[in-house]
Amino acid sequence: MLVLQVYKWNPRLHVPLTHTTHEKDRASKNLSLFLIETAMAIPPKNALYFLLLVSSFILGAMADLALSCPSRCEVELQWTLYARQIGGGANANQEEMVHSVHPTTGFGTIVVNNWDVLDAPLPNAAIVARARGTHTKAGPAAGDWFTSLSIVFEGARFNGSTFQVMGITNTDGLWAIVGGTKELSRADGTIKHTLLRATALENYRQLDIRAFYTPPAVNSNGIAAQ
């Protein structure tokens, strides 16, 4: 299990985190032209002083942005977990609530689920979260299942926090993270899901999570409060 967290300046509250090389070059050229034109309009004896003053200001501002995070910081989370889907038996964690009137395709079927989310693809692995929601047969093909979930975390790390997730659940694919709560507030990102193995009663899916979220608060050093 790999958990990677990176703290960044929040692009929703301030400026974008990254720019393309073209954008950086264009901004640099625009700044250079501005400085040259302004310096030419100033008497020669003051032009050099002006350029030195502005350059010092820009360098100082860049250093402040690089070394501090004075407001809320955005966090990148990369984490691999495993969903266990049990379709029948005493330990079933899903139930068909709306039956389809189309027996050939199953179109319109609605299933309520409370899947275990584990730290390994094993029955006795630790439960990290529960994937609670529904999946609906929204098309005629076998993989046309629309899934809407709240992934509710348990344990010390994200206890009580959630990801709000939706997407198509085919054999493999991507879900969108469209929101989050508590420590995972303002979350967005994707979950790549891959079917590892399947039997008549249960499936194990690998969930490769890549998300960005904004913790509720940071300390004076820009580190998320735990």
pLDDT of residue 182 exceeding 90, the answer is yes
CB 184 within 8 A of CB 161: yes
What span, in angstroms and rounded, lies between the C-alpha atoms of 10 and 3?
20
Q: What is the pLDDT of residue 124?
A: 94
Q: What is the structure's pLDDT at 73? A: 80
Q: Are 8 and 16 in contact (CB under 8 A)?
A: no
Quick check: pTM over 0.75?
no
pLDDT at 117: 98
Please report the pLDDT score of residue 143 as a whole number.
85
Comparing C-alpha atoms, which of 131, 167, 174 is closest to residue 146? Answer: 167
For the stretch 137-167, pLDDT in tens is 999 998 899 999 999 999 888 999 999 999 9
Which one, of 20, 13, 153, lies nearest residue 77 by Cα? Answer: 153
* DSSP 8-state assignment for residue 68: -
Task: Give the pLDDT confidence score for residue 142 in this predicted structure.
Answer: 86
**Please, how many CA atoms are within 13 Å of residue 179, restricted to the half-sphere of its CB?**
6
Q: Flag whether pLDDT at 185 surpasses 80.
A: yes
Burial of 101 per CB tally in 10 Å (0-12, 13-18, 19+): exposed
Nearest CA to 83 out of 160, 210, 192 is that of: 192
**78-104: average pLDDT:** 94
CA 57, CA 55: separation in Å to the nearest integer? 5
Does residue 67 have a pLDDT over 50? no
d(CA 187, CA 199): 33
Residue corresponding to tokens 């098309």: 139
Give the E-state strand segments of the chain in sequence order: 3-9, 73-86, 94-98, 110-118, 127-137, 145-153, 162-168, 172-181, 188-198, 202-213
- The predicted-structure confidence for 29-59, as pLDDT tens digits, reads as follows 666 666 566 656 666 666 566 556 656 656 5
Domain boundaries, the chain: 11-72, 74-213
State the fold for domain 74-213: AOC barrel-like (2.40.480)
